[in-house]
């Protein structure tokens, strides 16, 4: 199956953190990173009193189940030193499952499509890099993308 992951970081060497996360995804069993969006510097969402983020979206192909992919992403975060002090706080790395081809879930552990995908400009803009028609696996994000505020989002890489 194919999945789109959102990666964000605002602690330490943000560029290296994204590179390490992508490398770690490529090391997962039955998983290959197929495409990476540009990397954007974005303002914090939720808790505002923290450094700006680097964000990107990654398209992966995986033989893992959705639950196993979630566990792997959480494992990568832990391995990179992520500490969850409070909701939306600073983080060395954050890997969110945004979309999975032919899969939907609204569970407590995993909601796909991600429940805030249409409200986060820092997700929509990298997602557009991967899906320029603004439809990913049948999920239409065109209206949200068109109204996204690009004024505080800068291309880094």
Q: What is the pLDDT of residue 108?
A: 84
What pLDDT sits at residue 1?
96
Lowest-confidence segment of 36-40, 72-76, 83-87, 149-153 by average pLDDT: 83-87
Residue 46 has a pLDDT of 78
pLDDT at 85 over 90: no
Residue 52, Cα to own-chain centre: how many angstroms? 15
Q: Model confidence over 92-147: pLDDT tens digits?
A: 999 999 999 999 999 888 999 999 999 999 999 999 999 999 999 999 999 999 99
Residue 157, pLDDT > 90, answer no
The pLDDT, as a whole number, for residue 83 is 85
Q: What is the DSSP pairing of strand 154-155 with strand 31-36?
A: unpaired
Domains within the chain, CATH numbers bracketed: 2-155 (3.30.70.560)
Residue 97: closest CA among 132, 137, 134, 42: 137
Average per-residue pLDDT for the chain: 94
Q: Round to whole Å and give the CA distance between 37 and 40.
A: 9
Tell whether pTM > 0.85.
yes
């Amino acid at each position: 199956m194919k999945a789109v992951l959102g990666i964000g970081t605002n602690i330490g060497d943000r560029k290296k953190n994204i590179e390490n996360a992508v490398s770690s995804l490529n090391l997962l069993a039955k998983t290959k990173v197929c495409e990476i969006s540009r990397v954007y510097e974005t303002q914090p969402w939720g808790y505002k009193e923290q450094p700006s983020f680097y964000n990107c979206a990654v398209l992966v192909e995986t033989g893992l189940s959705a639950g196993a992919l979630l566990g792997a992403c959480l494992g990568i975060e832990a391995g990179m030193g992520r500490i969850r002090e409070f909701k939306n706080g600073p983080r060395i790395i954050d890997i969110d499952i945004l979309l999975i081809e032919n899969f939907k879930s609204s569970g407590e552990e995993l909601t796909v499509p991600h429940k805030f995908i249409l409200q986060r400009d820092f997700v929509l803009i990298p997602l557009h890099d991967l899906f320029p028609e603004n439809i990913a696996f049948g999920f239409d994000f065109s209206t949200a993308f068109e109204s996204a505020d690009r004024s505080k989002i800068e291309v880094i890489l």
